[in-house]
Amino acid sequence: VGQLVFAMPCSGLRQPLLEEPHDLEKGPGQTQQTSGYLAVCEQCGSPWCRCPKGKCDCPPIAATTGLKRHRGKFVFSLDRSEALDASEKQLLEHVVGFVGGKLTSVNELLGTLVVELTDAPEKVQTALSCAGFQVTLRSELALGQSRAMLKIEGMMCSSCVGTVEKALLEVPGVSAVSVNLLTRSADVDFENTEMQDVLDAVEEVGFEATLIRESPVPGSSSAAEAQGSVASFRVEGMTCASCVGAVENTISQIEGVQSASVSLLGHRAEVILEKPGLAATIVEAIEDIGFEAELISEEALTRSASSDRPSEIPVILGGSVDEAGLRKAAATLRGVRGVVLHKNLRRARILYEPRLIGARKLLAELDHVCKYSQETPEDPSAATLHSLRWRFSLALLPTLVIVILAEHIVAWPWSNEILPRLPLAGPVVLGLAAFVLFYCGQSFHIAAISAAQHGATTMNTLVSLSTTLSFFYGAFGAFYDFFSDESDFSISMAAMFCETSAVLVPVLLLGRLLEVQAKARTMAAVHRLSSKRPSVARLVHKGGSEEEVSWDLIEVNDLLRVLPGETVPADGEVASEAAALCDEALLTGESAPVKKARGSKVIGGSTCTQSGFLMRAEGVGNSTTLARIVQLVEEAQTRRPTVQKTVDLLASYFTPTVLALAAIAFGVWAPYGIPFAVTRAVSILVIACPCSFGLATPTAVMVATGRAASHGCLVKDSIVWERTRKLKHAVLDKTGTITKGRPQVAAVALLPGAEALPAAQPGPKAAVCMATMLEFDDGRKQQCLPELAARVGWLLASVEAGSEHVLAQAILEWGRSVSSGQLAEAERFTNMPGEGVSCHVAKVGAIRVGSVEFLGVPSSGTAGAWVRQQQEDACVVVALEACGQLCALLALRDELQEDAALAVKSLQARGLTVWMCTGDQPATANAVAARIGLLPQQVRAACLPDAKAQFVQELSKTADVLMVGDGMNDAAALACASVGVAIGAGSQITADSAQVILVRSSLKDLVFFLDLGSATMRTMYRNFAWALSFNIVGIPLAAGLGAPWNLWLPPIA
């Protein structure tokens, strides 16, 4: 127990708290020690117990030690109406510290405490209760390994990158660092480390660092604690907004529910749960208030439900509120992930999860500390370009004057002396050179000094050292010549060295200006995507009135109006009947407008080209498709391929090597004349170019990633560019990859058992359904066909009405097209995965629908021959049985992608061995393979997910493997492959497992990606070869190795 520190009694407490230890009064029931320490209650273990001795009814603090222990940040509600005085706040801090915690903030406005603790939170609650504070645990945020993206200003070359990485890795708790020169950013993985320590480490080595975002590392304890599940429910009976509110309130009151979002139009509820297993409780609660509910799906909460990157709201601090006040107020709100403040401004960005709290609601809760302030997106290179242009322009005229005087183009300044032996040109050249070098070129010197203070060398070190050395050597020679009668160093020679230093500054400024412009151009693809975001949206209120709101303030489930020619402001669903056309070319690369009707999904950033519509917002802020695409591209551009890491390592040794060579050259040539020796040393320092190494790889990666994004190929990891040239095998999934993934009924065979089915009213396509009647009397075929097709269609539609299987949906669509009327209800429904279904239908009896093997269709006879014929034609055959009698056979075919055969041919032309791996039966798989030019031995059929992954692993033992898939069953195989490519229309889990996503679901984009990968690697190696050749040839010539043949490079070459 800690020593007493309070100078005055704490109100409401029976025990006196004294500053100095002396004899203490006996408190009620407590005998206090006289050593300056509070006595600890023998029963509850608290030194602040308020109970009489021997009659303590407080729960023992030690009893909580058996509870789950983990490091976390906990928010407690303080049940107290009056304000806390200074001593009570200090008492709170000591009580929390007594149980091993740390009180990080007290918000009296909201009545909350935030405590960081490596123990059970009940311990804090018990200890505070003993001290007279009634608190309730409100929320919890588990801590663990985090990943932060930092914006870093001031880096010029690969040596700078190495300096920043070294500084960050020296911070305790930092486990991994990846710094990108072009994007001026760094990804940092850290644990148990304050973010400010990370930022300070960068600034201590001379660079500016700003936090962009921070999130849990996938797979870490923090990510695991934060991850729950998302459940979707179908809710029937809602008729108005009041019904929606009643359902949302009911769900939200259930313990373990993080948030609930109910759609009136979609009759759906999406609920984010802290843990799985609450679906039955939610269904029961909804039904208790008079609505019908059914669980649709429940899955782990991944990026599909919560974006890795939180959404942001720009705000301006109000009144006297400071950074700490804003952070404390925001920390008490569920859904707020952090606050990022702008440097030297009263502006900030609040990071939040839009599915947990809406933007407008968040601002209303924080209205007392901040206000919304709309930000205009700025070009991150604009300030740098402006500064470089200004200093370059400022240096031009003085440099021109220096050249004219130093080269004696004008003679009179040299013939007119202001003092004996001091021509006018001398001080003019010296003064102008000093202005150009130390004012216009000050950025080089500041960066070099900062790096030197921390033992680092960069490109700025070479520039600063060479120009400064040349200038001071010239200045020293000029003064020496003026004051010494024996000097052989003329003022004219001094002017030449001053000219060298002065001319180098604008030349280097111009080079850096062009370099920054080139970097900006490589980011053009990302900027074009980001600029597609609209600034405002039309919000439709419940009464029908409309209001323009900022894009930042759109909330999930907002009803928005989009007019022709306007940009869709968020991801969502069309909520009006009017048909519209949307141009999604920027996101998918598809030039043809896409038709949108009620229920169609729309993508934020696309353009409505014809007929406006109402939409219900589903993805807002950084949860939109557009924001995720930008995030993927940015992350891919930030990660460095292996070749770049090798080059960066080489560049980190380059600058010290150049400095050593300059010193050696000076020493070698000094006996032959100091001026020549200085010139050689300066030439080496100037000609050396570590930037050429540092930019050789990232420029190629940036351009390739941006170009791929503009063609609908999203590259998540730049390492794949290297692997594209090493691929030897390509494994393609069939359904949804080679085929369209939307099977349709291609042929139907009706059997005599169909005559026993109940009569049904024929539908519009019953007479033209192209069915075949097997084993019937030839004279009855034509007249019975529409009637029997209607009976079969009605029964199949009744059975498959509740199924979401892709084959069931195709059968249901056909059944409804050939029959009409009310469907029957299928009872006692049983699903046998991979085989079929069985159920009972009133007035019919027992029904089975499934594969021919499941129903035991004989392989002989006309039925068996029909089945074989359809399977050879790449069809899947499904049979219908009623009361033990075979009634019909349906052949379903999934049509090939238009460019599938051409893509396979292109892959084979690249030298890849192409395989098809599918879960379909061998007959169907071989038929599809034959249509795209694959041999039977290149087909792996009837493969379950683990078999697909095992096949990819077997191939990977000898060569790099490309895997392309779209379904959830492909996720494991994609993760095992050297390069995993997900078809964009596939599942979210598949996309998360892959390294490349094809937005348009077109295999021709796969060929484009591979061609681009080969071109990118060629560009990388070509850039590196040029950089290496330049330095290998330039440095020896600058050192004077060609002097015997009068071949050398001057400093300004």
Asked if 258 contacts 275 with a C-beta cutoff of 8 angstroms, the reply is no
Which two tokens mark 735?
């359904």
Distance CA(226)–CA(274), nearest Å, equals 8
In 3D space, the residue among 74, 61, 72, 70 whose CA is nearest the CA of residue 112 turns out to be: 74
Distance CA(1053)–CA(682), nearest Å, equals 12
Q: Tell how far CA 938 is from the center of its chain.
A: 37
Helix (H, G, I), strand (E, B) or coil at 689: coil
In 3D space, the residue among 538, 970, 475 whose CA is nearest the CA of residue 733 turns out to be: 970
CA-based Rg of the chain, rounded to a whole angstrom? 37
Asked if 26 contacts 32 with a C-beta cutoff of 8 angstroms, the reply is yes
Amino acid at the residue 630: V
Write the burial class of residue 43 (CB in 10 Å: 0-12 exposed, 13-18 middle, 19+ buried).
Answer: middle
In 3D space, the residue among 99, 95, 102, 90 whose CA is nearest the CA of residue 134 turns out to be: 95
Which two tokens mark 339?
């606050």
**Alpha-helix runs per DSSP H in 639-780:** 642-669, 674-687, 690-710, 719-723
| 336-341 vs 347-352, strand pairing mode | antiparallel
Asked if 271 contacts 297 with a C-beta cutoff of 8 angstroms, the reply is no
Asked if 148 contacts 188 with a C-beta cutoff of 8 angstroms, the reply is yes
Asked if 454 contacts 206 with a C-beta cutoff of 8 angstroms, the reply is yes
Distance CA(193)–CA(209), nearest Å, equals 16
Q: 781-800 vs 806-818: helix axis angle to the nearest 10? A: 130
Distance CA(724)–CA(624), nearest Å, equals 29
Q: In what side-by-side order are the strands of the sheet with 185-190?
A: 174-180, 185-190, 146-153, 208-216
Phi-psi sector, 959: left (phi>0), alpha (psi -120 to 50), beta:
beta
- 84 — phi, psi (to 5°)? -85, 140
CA distances from 826 to 233, 793, 810, 822 (A): 21, 14, 18, 13
140 sits in which H/E element: strand 135-142
Write the burial class of residue 383 (CB in 10 Å: 0-12 exposed, 13-18 middle, 19+ buried).
Answer: exposed
Write the burial class of residue 839 (CB in 10 Å: 0-12 exposed, 13-18 middle, 19+ buried).
Answer: buried
Question: Computed from CA positions of residues 320, 209, 216, 524, in that sequence, does the dihedral angle turn out positive or negative?
Answer: positive
CA distances from 73 to 70, 116, 143, 326, 328 (A): 10, 4, 7, 17, 13
- 251 — phi, psi (to 5°)? -65, -40
Q: 861-872 vs 922-931: helix axis angle to the nearest 10? A: 40
Check 119, 733, 960, 1005 and give the catalytic one. 733
In the residue annotation, 79 being an active-site residue is answered as no
Q: Which residues belong to the active site? A: 733
